[in-house]
Chains A and B, each alone.
Chain A
Amino acid sequence: QVQLVQSGAEVKKPGASVRVSCTTSGYTFTQYYIYWVRQAPGQGLQWMGWINPNSGDTKYAQKFQGRVALARDTSISTAYMDLSGLRPDDTAIYYCIRDLAGRTLDIWGQGTMVTVSS
């Protein structure tokens, strides 16, 4: 079955960077976009950007421009989210999601908790 399995929880100091991985299985990785969304503790959902795993093209929310970079490794069907210049308000669960088509976010990863604290 289709699965998106994310890397484990991270604790980082302010100013550091973090990489979250999203390993996919059960479908052809290059056929569907991967989205990234985050959720601060007890808060709602915030779209960060997407990557086209086939071409590597990316689109980011302006809020994160310059701090976020999405990448992929097609040889291992894995997408990555790099976030730099971490601040305490970046503390959140980060989700990767498959876009089945037409921005239909049908399969979500289990989430990765990133904590930013001095």
Chain B
Amino acid sequence: DVVVSQSPLSLPVTPGEPASISCRSSQSLLYSNGYNYLNWFLQRPGQSPQLLIYLGSTRASGVPDRFSGSGSGTDFTLKISRVEAEDVGVYYCMQALHIPYTFGQGTKLEIK
């Protein structure tokens, strides 16, 4: 199975400051169509995960533009330009190119 590794696993952030999460895959997620099959999700406490970013860098509908995704191949990054209190939760990346699709371990973002 493709191993997806996130870092850091814990991320304390002061409101208004930027935050960045790294996601690395053991195999390339770049398909021949030019798309990277990498999604980012946020799971707020007690809720189902919600989609933030798909195909590596496309923001999902309704997601604030302070969230951005970048990267290609095996290295990806989720950036939050200015963290707000509502961004607290666990962030997961997921590779959707190689079956079985696999998730990172999760990064817990908390407010300082």
Q: Interface on B for A, CB 8 Å cutoff?
A: 35, 37, 39, 41, 48-51, 54-55, 60-61, 92, 94, 96-97, 99-106
Contact B48 A47 (CB under 8 A): no
Within the assembled complex, what's the spacing in Å between the Cα atoms of A104 and B55?
A: 8
Contact assessment for B105 and A44 in the assembled complex, using a CB-CB cutoff below 8 Å: yes
- Say if the beta carbon of A59 comes within 8 Å of chain B: yes
By a CB distance below 8 angstroms, the chain A residues around B55 are 102, 104
Q: Mark A42-60, 1 if CB is under 8 A from B, else 0.
A: 0011110000000000010
Contact between B35 and A47, CB atoms less than 8 A apart:
no
Evaluate whether A104 and B103 lie within 8 angstroms (CB atoms) in the complex, with A44-B92, A45-B94, A110-B48 already known: no
In whole angstroms, what is the CA distance A44 to B102 when docked?
Answer: 10
Interface of B is mostly: loop
Contact of B60 among A59, A106, A109 (CB under 8 A): A106
Partner of A45, one of B37, B49, B96: B49
Give the Cβ gap from A75 to chain B, nearest Cβ, in Å: 26
In the docked arrangement, what's the CA distance between A59 and B35, Å? 22
Inter-subunit contact B103/A44 (CB<8 Å) = yes
- Other contacts beyond A61-B99, A105-B41: 11, CB < 8 A: A45-B49, A45-B103, A45-B106, A63-B100, A102-B55, A103-B37, A103-B54, A103-B96, A103-B101, A104-B39, A106-B54
